[in-house]
Structure 1
């Protein structure tokens, strides 16, 4: 059967999957907060840039330790599956092998003091030569054993065209819960001897690599067109719209906020979240898992947005003996770890306190079952084919005799906006 080779799904991770992989989006120091990484043309956009263009990605983060640190950075070329391509830096970098991060600003008028760092790539010192996947590494004192954070960067050298559509799942059992993506890749002009070996297609829902599907062979080949439309592939749970809270102002209660307490620190208590496993879909606005640093009370949220302790309360219908509850979103890279795990209080509700910068945040709850050793976000959130989702499609190509994979196609589509 023509099926995708590899399905990386948050619903099917084991406890071993909780560990941090070196070529993933990771934060290695708890003092580092509010990491943003996107194409500088639009806040929150997917971090993809065209090779040789004037496009740049922006990395921004805060260091709660204040002061200034000797941060350095570099990028490393990776293959389709995010392993190192094992190329020399001279093969994929145009200039230096690493550089110091010089752009930083101290916070202003905030209770929580921090230093805000920013970096734009490519620049005069660090620029890629090849298209493909890159991991951006930030570390202290020029020593990569002192890693601070990593981000996945996508450099596009467009050589194919993509046509894609979304719709409800064709399966009888999944028609009300799932979404199906069909797409066609036209590789006219490329030297493709065997499409199953030379071209890979990676499809993501809301930029979540953990739930992505890697297509290693097309359903049909029609001339220079590869069709990926088998009924058994690229069928995603639609999931639900993300939950959301708004702390753009700490002067009055806004969306999903029960009360704000200001003392020696900012404290925000959210309304209790219910389980949302109802079979009926309810339309709500969300940002597809993203977060945005914003401050209505200031002029520059990069340095005058404050931090607050955000108190979450979740009325889950599960006991701690059965498993664990986690809270995830782009704000924590969807990580299931000790920093995202909720604890159950005496009132039976699950609670967690997260220290977050002012803004708008999407989030959801994930259940890890002790018996099955699997995690599942649908248990608490439900799944509906009507859910509005973004899908990102990346096409990779390995040229004849080459030792690396190139990113030759990128497309983004939405289930509602056609």
Structure 2
């Protein structure tokens, strides 16, 4: 049996309470990794009107300057705590709808009605922002550590050699349950009977690889019956070789690579990428950004819609399971002891890796605070 970690640690630490931003588990371990890029929105969601979004238990307001550059600030006016998202954008600044204080994209106050000189130091928190591949990313930790080279690679979202679409699903669970569900290749036979289920999903061995930068869970299935998804949408009828590779990188990014090839006609092949960004909203809710991209029949809009619908229906099946799971974990008697075996290697490795990163980040934050 593998020891307690991951969701169980969170469940024990948070059961019966909703911690404020920056809250920690017993022993000082932070609930969320912060010095990482998180997807905050689709590019099309953010415009000149303010958009409020809760991220990692923090209210954030997003908008665009006149030149289209996205901005993000803490969604609390430092005057008396009103949400800046209830205000309006004037020029490049956001103006509080309560008393008219204005703030630019770096958080500095630019105007206080009735006062000629803005008080020195009056500002609100700003978040480094980057826009890539149809998504807007926010750095939720120390702005001085933000490095755009560390933005996770989701280039398939707007690569001209791929086609597809995606959406955001609200999921009423801790984000780790979404992550662990995606790293678990064996549940498909039981949860997704109409889309992904084949006997080989249970019988084929799973390999786990970890190099310190990413975690991969891989399953190669040779000469198997194609799943209902690939039969119906991709025209596979005879035996296929089917490879699944799930790659996880912190804080909450998963790319699923799927390759299916006919054993009788090797030219009949398809490759998909399922892009998954699981951004915590609170400790019990997640913004699940996902997109399904393919490398064939790029101009077939009907196929794009059909694959999107089939994949979304699959995710709805997952959501029903993990939201019920969250309720059970929250009410589990002490201690909630998970039982694990070989199919859980990827899940366990991800949990232990993130727990280690949380400890290291907490220690780094503690050293910085001690240094003043």
- Compare the two structures and name the one with the higher strand fraction: 1
Name the structure with the higher helix share.
2
TM-score by length of 2: 0.25
Instruction: Give TM-score scaled by structure 1 length.
Output: 0.23
